Structure 1
């Protein structure tokens, strides 16, 4: 507390004393929320700490996003953030996995009713143990025992990562856990070494084996979650299965099935998810001409030709189109440039904002990233309900 100089005026002293009494009562009456992991709720306790202490809920930017949880003035991050069985070399996978899992969650937990909280039950140590191979020293490992083979008969790493998302409701000043969504990312190809620091080899994983192993792991994970403090037997736990793309793919993977444990240790019937990601421009002569994205590919190619003729300093223009069945869900466009001038970048971004609506789809989210070897320089976003692109130039004022 700041030091207060002694004032000789009795009236001023009286005012200061009254103020101290007032603020003392004010702080004693105010309280903040603190998490109680044993009950799954957030309880309210009296405190003299600042307003940044305890649990707060963010405001919503739009109806399609969740309110999120802030703890002690900071965003509440996942306890098992970034944990994976092996090093992930395909950056597209992480984006597709996280975005797709959030889209899946919105189908089961409304953004108008539920509050999103990063996973708080699966810890880093537990995730590392689960994603490791089963062994005498690690009996909780979900991936199979190392059989010592170094050819196609080896036991591959099936499960790459586990993502937990918690969904809460507010009851007065409390937060209560109402459901959990788990994403299980399964490898379609395992990259391994026959000796430490040696060459890398790849082992393709049979689709039927991957699906069967995923179901077995999902059942085991549900049983383990039910034993975690604060979850209990009646919290619905959804499981969404994701097939990772190969390391050299220019697109992320896709979700292929889901299930739910409404109570107890068992899962219901599995439901297929007909999702796919298409890389643009498509390669002719490879069967892509039968793709659901044939029409989009034509307009995307015209878009690419247009901006490349206007700005010759482009290295490449590629896209990832996400589909649910035959319906386009979203598009991400990557534009690689060799610009050095800030005015070039700004002019180019503004030109794209003007020309993109003539070629790229409307009614779905579209994100255009403009990148150079030094990193991202600008990005443009069109929401599903937007008619224009919002342009952001990085590093500008």
Structure 2
């Protein structure tokens, strides 16, 4: 998405790895210092993406991606947490001036302790102690579900900034006994926000103690986890920025983001009825001309009530290469006619055998890119 990609096809180019399809070595030096340190990077294919660091010929993976507290995440939440944090980071760390590195300061074992409950044997746990209660309204729920670190380096390779995403539960799912029934503790928006901000300051103070982070700019975003039955990921609802060695965030910025699945079902209200109607027209049109479709759905992302990206998934029963080629071309034509303009658009066409073709349009572009995946 222009500001926020959160979907499966878009995440094939997750973060900056799209640049790795043609990895190139680039040397960067800090012109304002005498440093001669050189970095090998992935290179980048667009100005909106970061170059990533390659160390000793290998890309360093994240120490914290996918880590959760006691309950499991949906794949949507894992991707939305990191893509949203990447978008937030670009405001503080421009892609033209900084190089991206997966989080390396917060180690896996350390992050696991932070995500766990506080106890006599785990004094650094950010989630509250177990009060021994099992009733939904009496127990202490798990507020924090995920934590993610992203690092931002200056051109000479110095760690200059960091972003931390805290995934907060709006519902804490739990069992009263092993393999027993699942119960829910619902967490109010006010309590989720209060707990998130308190935890953010604790995390900030701890990160300031790490090597190279005493004066670095640190961004912390608060993310609302989606519920287990959701077909889309959660959203960020607030973020704060700490500079010049401060150990608390005193000023928070509210964010208004929403995700929605098309077509709208049941009693759910559309965020924007015109967008929902446009998708319905697109869906009906392609189903009329190509009836052998198993399903047509979309995931929409809204910023401040305005559609900022759309990811469409089309499941087909086609097996002929020529059918797929014709259908892909028709999809591009129908998308241009019916779907909203001036937003990034990703359309994946798949069968039970896997992805068959792709149609995409970049933000601000009037033309579509198409590709049919052949068997040769």
TM-score, length of structure 1 as denominator length: 0.81
- 2:158 maps to 176
1:280 counterpart (240, 245, 262): 262
1:124 counterpart (96, 105, 108): 108
1:349 counterpart (320, 328, 346): 328
CA distance in structure 2 between the partners assigned to 1:384 and 1:343 by the alignment: 29
| Inter-CA distance 89–318: structure 2 relative to 1 (3 Å threshold) | farther
User: Any unmatched runs of 5+ in structure 1?
Assistant: 1-31, 34-40, 46-53
Alpha-carbon distance, 1:367 to partner: 1.0
The 5-angstrom pairing of residues 146-157 of structure 1 reads 146-152=130-136, 153-157=138-142
- 1:383 maps to 362
1:270 counterpart (216, 233, 252): 252
1:362 counterpart (341, 345, 357): 341
Q: Which moved more, 1:178-187 or 1:309-318?
A: 309-318
Tell me if 1:185 matches 2:167.
yes
Give the 3-state SS of the residue equivalent to 1:88 in structure 2: coil
4+ residue segments displaced more than 6 Å: none
CA distance in structure 1 between the partners assigned to 2:187 and 2:352 by the alignment: 34
| Inter-CA distance 202–340: structure 2 relative to 1 (3 Å threshold) | farther
Give the 3-state SS of the residue equivalent to 1:113 in structure 2: coil
- Does the 8 A contact of 2:71 with 2:174 survive in 1? no
CA distance in structure 1 between the partners assigned to 2:180 and 2:337 by the alignment: 50
| Inter-CA distance 269–248: structure 2 relative to 1 (3 Å threshold) | same
- 1:12 maps to none
Cα deviation code 1:230-286 (max 9, x no counterpart): 212x11111111101111112211111111111221112111011111221223644
Give the 3-state SS of the residue equivalent to 1:312 in structure 2: coil
Give the 3-state SS of the residue equivalent to 1:219 in structure 2: helix
Alpha-carbon distance, 1:213 to partner: 0.7
The 5-angstrom pairing of residues 99-178 of structure 1 reads 99-152=83-136, 153-170=138-155, 174-178=156-160
| Inter-CA distance 377–196: structure 2 relative to 1 (3 Å threshold) | farther
Give the number of equivalent residue pairs. Answer: 344
Tell me if 1:63 matches 2:47.
yes
Higher relative contact order (CA 8 A, sep 6+): 2
The 5-angstrom pairing of residues 70-109 of structure 1 reads 70-109=54-93
Cα deviation code 1:313-370 (max 9, x no counterpart): 2222221211111322211112223334444333322321222111112222111122
User: Any unmatched runs of 5+ in structure 2?
Assistant: 1-25, 28-32
Tell me if 1:194 matches 2:179.
no
Tell me if 1:325 matches 2:307.
no
- Does the 8 A contact of 1:333 with 1:368 survive in 2? yes
**What RMSD, in angstroms, separates the aligned Cα atoms of the two structures?**
2.3
